[in-house]
Amino acid sequence: MADVHPEHAQLQADRIYLGWQYAMLYPEPGPPPKRPSPEDVPEEPAEVDPAWVRRERLKEDLLNRPMKIVGVFMVVLALVMVVLGVTETMDWTFVTAGLVVTCGVAAICWYAVHQGERALRSRIKEQEARADDRRRRRERDLFDAQERHAERYRAWAAKKEQYDRQLTWYAVAVPDEIDRIDVAGGTLPGWSALITLLGATRLYSGGHLTVLDLSEGAIAKDLIELARRGGDDPLVWVLPTDLPRLDLGATLPPEAFADVLAHVVSVSEEHRTTRDLSFDNAILERVLEVLGENATINQVTAALRALAQVGDPRDDLRYGLLTATQLERIGTLFGRGVTDRVVIERAWALESQLRKLETLGSEAVRLPPARLRVVSMDRQAGVFGNRVLGTYVATALTHILRQSPASERPWYHTIIVAGADKLRGDVLDRLMDACETSQTGLVLTYRSLTPTVRERLGRGHAAVAFMRLGNAEDARVASEHMGTEHRLELAQLTESISPTVDGLNGSYTSTVGDGAGRGGAGGHEKAEGDLKESITESTEWGRSARKAMGEERVLHRSREFLVEPHQLQQLPTTSVIVTHATVEGRQVRLADANPAILTFPKTTLGEFEEVRRVMLTPAPQPEPDPEEDSFAPNLGPPPERLDWRKTH
């Protein structure tokens, strides 16, 4: 896997990038832990209560009062007896015996009082010791609380740094084993974003790209500008104006050319079957056989007019479109009678359709090779005429691919058909088969899910990308295709940027017309191939994203939604739900096709599941080598720093 760090990112040629998935690998840690204060620690008395001391002293005094009274009485009695002995009122024998008794009783009383005082002082000291112990325990608890807070804060700071520095946008890509991508739904701005991202990543990884734009919305305009800034020189045809300079199909053999023209005629006849196409093909093959190699469209239409007996064939002879010999052979190609009338009617129908291609290749010039080729339809032209032209280009590309050898690298050449629902189902089938056999990548975008599109959506080894589906029935079909149990995360940044680019202005500028300069030499300064800088400077998406990046409040917000029809109808412009089959089962991911996300500092070209496995898997600790003096693991040389520079 490539380095997941954005500054080391490098496009991988074996991956097809369809957008960016918003995901937070690490959750927000929340507010920092509160620092503990002395008030938060349960407070216990830190000193002996003076009231308790007073109560204990009062209690001791009450207990000692009788002893003190008895002791005082005995002292007084002893003094009286001494006085009586001195005055010889009482014999000293009795006085001595009385003194012994009274002094002994007084001593006993005062000893009891002294013991009570000692017990009181001991109790007071015990209380003081307990108070000191409580004070020390409270201080220790406060210190422990501060230590725990410091540990929690360090853990919170580490999570906060991890949260702030984590990647938020991961590439949504499909492997190049997927041979086709079907894009269902979407708006013109959404298609523009998706095609710009997909095309730019293919070009900057060394591939070639052909865009057939049937949308009439100039959706590849940003892609053309990116290619010019990257040093390429795109070729842009705007049909029908550039039809004389379009040489596509000029080298096809007569059989293939007849098949192409037959499919072009079938554009207006949806009910026509394979049998009808075979009949038209037979007529055209015989006509081309008469005209010989390198027959032009106006020669074919002249021959069909002669076959249908329309107009004056002498005019075509005079203009050199037919020779007298060819005119004579055309008149005898088919028999007469009823069969002739059927041929006449079909020849007339063929001529009326192919007249729109009469100028094809009439002024073709040799153009230098280009890695980006865009064939678009002018929105000023008729709808039916554009369908004819689009069918011709798609069918001619099909035959060119069928005659080309298979590419050694899948998706080296990529074809994008925008508005593919305007083509017949059999035209799409043939193009799909030709791209698969030649290993050419194919991207088809459909505005609506018609029955023809539903039959082919995701068929074969293809990935399906669903964008905004305005039609309720289309949204229902899409939700059933993906399954409504999937819960996806939508970034608020996607919802904020999408409305800022709500339309496509301007149109294509031809690079093959008279007086039209080629892109690289027309005043565009040749860039050094920095894709990120090119997206920022030359696309509307880059300019809008640069403004949104200043709003920090939307960078880390998202919401979840279920894959339900009403949610699919409210998807932001650039949102795309990518689903394809894997060995683990069907994978469904929500991406943002905005190419400007590639320029964000927290965007990686690694996919979310891959990055998560790398980030959450602990690195194995190398075992120390006993033969080495140091136990430091050998990390090897530093990784090579990769960049965005394009190599041709």
Q: Check if the beta carbon of residue 442 is closer than 8 Å to that of residue 180.
A: yes
CA distances from 294 to 97, 143, 248, 366 (A): 163, 96, 13, 16
Amino acid identity at 360: L
Band of the pLDDT at 5, cuts 50, 70, 90? low
Average pLDDT of the chain to the nearest whole number: 80
Q: Check if the beta carbon of residue 181 is closer than 8 Å to that of residue 465.
A: yes
Please tell me the predicted confidence (pLDDT) of residue 420. 93
The more confidently predicted of residues 614 and 223 is 223
The more confidently predicted of residues 596 and 504 is 596
Convert 333-367 to b/e letters by CB count within 10 Å (16 or more is b): bbeeeeeeeebeebbebbbbbbebbbbbbeeeeee
pLDDT at 432 over 90: yes
Q: What is the 3-state secondary structure (H, E, C) of 490-553?
A: EEHHHHHHHHHCCCCCCCCCCCCCCCCCCHHHCCCCCCCCCHHHHHHHHCHHHHHHHHHCCCHH
Number of residues that make up the chain: 648
166-194 pLDDT, tens digit per residue, is 888 899 998 888 999 999 999 998 999 99
Please tell me the predicted confidence (pLDDT) of residue 560. 83
Band of the pLDDT at 2, cuts 50, 70, 90? very low
Query: Phi/psi at 135 (nearest 5 deg)?
Result: -65, -45
Q: Check if the beta carbon of residue 457 is closer than 8 Å to that of residue 418.
A: no
Is the sign of the CA dihedral 397, 399, 400, 401 positive or negative? positive
Please tell me the predicted confidence (pLDDT) of residue 556. 66
Please tell me the predicted confidence (pLDDT) of residue 520. 41
Please tell me the predicted confidence (pLDDT) of residue 364. 77
- The residues, any chain, with a CB within 8 Å of residue 385's CB and separated by 6 or more, are 240, 356
The more confidently predicted of residues 447 and 647 is 447
pLDDT at 154 over 60: yes
Please tell me the predicted confidence (pLDDT) of residue 310. 79
Q: Check if the beta carbon of residue 464 is closer than 8 Å to that of residue 457.
A: yes
The Cα 219–Cα 420 span in angstroms is 14
Please tell me the predicted confidence (pLDDT) of residue 501. 61
Please tell me the predicted confidence (pLDDT) of residue 418. 94
518-577 pLDDT, tens digit per residue, is 444 333 333 334 777 777 766 777 766 666 665 544 456 788 888 888 888 889 989 999
201-255 pLDDT, tens digit per residue, is 888 888 899 999 998 888 998 899 888 888 888 999 998 888 888 888 777 888 8
The 10 Å Cβ neighbour count of residue 154 is 10
pLDDT at 498 over 80: no
The Cα 285–Cα 363 span in angstroms is 25
Please tell me the predicted confidence (pLDDT) of residue 311. 79
pLDDT at 621 over 60: no
Band of the pLDDT at 505, cuts 50, 70, 90? low
The 10 Å Cβ neighbour count of residue 195 is 26
Chain mean position to CA 14: 18
363-394 pLDDT, tens digit per residue, is 877 888 889 999 998 877 777 778 888 889 99
237-248 pLDDT, tens digit per residue, is 998 888 888 888
What pairs with residue 581 in β-bridges? 586
Q: Check if the beta carbon of residue 259 is closer than 8 Å to that of residue 285.
A: no
Q: What is the mean pLDDT of residues 405-432?
A: 91
Band of the pLDDT at 43, cuts 50, 70, 90? low
Q: Check if the beta carbon of residue 528 is closer than 8 Å to that of residue 643.
A: no
Q: What is the mean pLDDT of residues 458-487?
A: 88
The Cα 234–Cα 215 span in angstroms is 19
Enter the tokens of residue 228. 């010019």
Enter the tokens of residue 2. 């490539």
The Cα 208–Cα 214 span in angstroms is 20
Band of the pLDDT at 638, cuts 50, 70, 90? very low
Q: Check if the beta carbon of residue 605 is closer than 8 Å to that of residue 10.
A: yes
Selection from 388, 315, 316, 325 nearest residue 352 by Cα:
388
pLDDT at 499 over 90: no
